[in-house]
Amino acid sequence: MAAKVKIAMTWAAACGGCDVALLDLEAKLLELTRIADLVYWPVALDFKRRNLAALPDGGLDIGLYNGAVRTSEQEEDALLLRRKARLLVACGSCACFGGVPGLANLSDREGIFAVAYGSTPSTENPEGVAPEPRCSVNGNERTLPEFHDTVKSLAQVVPVDAFLPGCPPPGERLEDLAGIVARFAATGEAPPRGAVLASDKALCDECPRNGSRKGGRVSEFKRPHQLLADPEVCFLEQGLICMGIATRGGCGLSCIRANMPCRGCFGPTAQALDPAAEALSALGSIAGDANENDVPAHVMKRAVQSIRDLAGTCYRFTLPVALLNRAVRDVPAEKSP
C-alpha cells in the first residue's frame, strides 16, 4: 500500500469557521483518512507547534493555512508551514485575501487597542493597560506575540501554491481539495502554482436571477433588512447591493438561494485590477433617478451616500490585497514632501 499523504492544518487570525467546515465533511473526512494522515491540526486535536517543527523540511505533503496574518506568531506559523509543506494551500477567505480581519487595516494597532482596551461599553480599564510584547512579572520576563499594524493575506507573507476561497469554503470546494489530496497521494501531481479552486467567472454568470436585470436606476441603496426582496429578481434591480457582479463564482450560490445578496467572500476574478473597483463601477452605473436619463452629480452623490460603510461593503473580505491595502495616516504638513 502507498504511503499516506501527510496533511497539516493550522489557523491564524480566524474565527474557526474554516475548521468547522472541514469537520462538516463528516464521513468524507473519515474517507480522507484512508489516504491521508492528519499530522497537525491544533483546533481539532491536541497537537503542539513542536510536533510540526519536528518534521523535516519538505516532510509534510500538504499544509492548509486558514486565517489572516495579524501577529508575529501567525507569521512564524506561516513561515514554518511553508518550510515543511510541499504544497501550501490558503484555506478560506481570510488566508486568501485577509478576509473580515483584514478590515482592521482601516485602522491601526493604536486605534484598535484604544477601542478594544479603552472605549467598548464593557471595558473597565482606568489605567489604560494594553498588551505589551514584553513585560516583567516578579523579575521574570514574559512575552506575547507582536500585534502588527497591518493585516496580511498568506501570500503576502509566503509563496502559496493554491487558494481555496470562501467564508468558509463550501463543502463542494472542500471536496475539490480532497480530490487534490487524492491525486497527490496517487501520482504526486499538484495543481498549477497559484491555482484558485473556484470558477474564474463572476457569480452573475451562474446566478438564476441574471436574466431579470432590466438596467433600472437606483436612487437609494437599501440594506437587506429594509425590504422583503423578490426571490426571482436580481438584487441590484431592487436597490440591494449584491457583490456577485465582481465576485468569483463557484460558491454554490447559497446566499442567493437564501434570498440574501452576495457579500463577496470568493474574492475578485483574476481580471479585476482591484477587488472593489469593479463593484464600485457597476454600482456607479446604476446609481441615479429612475425617471431621468441624465444623472446629475448630486443625484449620483446621494445614491452613493446611501451605501452605509462603503469600504466595509466593497472590501469586506479583500482589503489587504487591494491596491490601497490600508488606511493611510495623515502625514504632518512639515513632514510631507
> What sign does the CA torsion over 69, 73, 76, 77 have?
negative
Stretch that binds ligand SF4, among 56-64, 113-121, 170-178, 199-207 (CB under 6 A): 199-207
Q: Considering the rule CB under 6 A, would residue 267 count as an interface residue with ligand SF4?
A: no
One residue of 181, 203, 303, 307 binding ligand SF4 per CB under 6 A: 203
Stretch that binds ligand SF4, among 37-45, 105-113, 202-210, 292-300 (CB under 6 A): 202-210
Cβ-contact 238, 217 below 8 angstroms: no
Q: Which of 252, 186, 125 is nearest to 2 (CA)?
A: 186
Alpha carbon distance 43, 138 (integer Å): 32
| Residue among 14 and 198 whose Cβ is closer to ligand SF4 | 14
Question: What is the three-class DSSP state of 80?
Answer: helix
Report which residue's Cβ sits closest to ligand SF4. 244
Report DSSP state, residue 205.
G
Q: Considering the rule CB under 6 A, would residue 164 count as an interface residue with ligand SF4?
A: no
x/- contact string, 92-121, with ligand SF4 (CB under 6 A)? Answer: xxx----xx---------------------
Question: Following DSSP, what letter does each residue of 209-271 receive, concatenated?
Answer: TGGG-----BSS-B-GGGS---TTS-TGGGTB--GGGGSBS-S-SHHHHTT-----TT---TT
| Residue among 5 and 282 whose Cβ is closer to ligand SF4 | 282
Q: Considering the rule CB under 6 A, would residue 17 count as an interface residue with ligand SF4?
A: yes
Pull the grid cell for residue 302: 446621494
Give residues 64-93 in contact with ligand SF4 (rule: CB under 6 A).
66-67, 92-93
Q: Considering the rule CB under 6 A, would residue 155 count as an interface residue with ligand SF4?
A: no
Q: Considering the rule CB under 6 A, would residue 262 count as an interface residue with ligand SF4?
A: yes
Q: Considering the rule CB under 6 A, would residue 160 count as an interface residue with ligand SF4?
A: no
- Partner residues linked to 141 by β-bridges: 136
In the complex, the residues that contact ligand SF4 under the rule CB under 6 A are: 14-15, 17-18, 66-67, 92-94, 99-100, 167-168, 203-204, 207, 209-210, 234-236, 242, 244-245, 256, 262
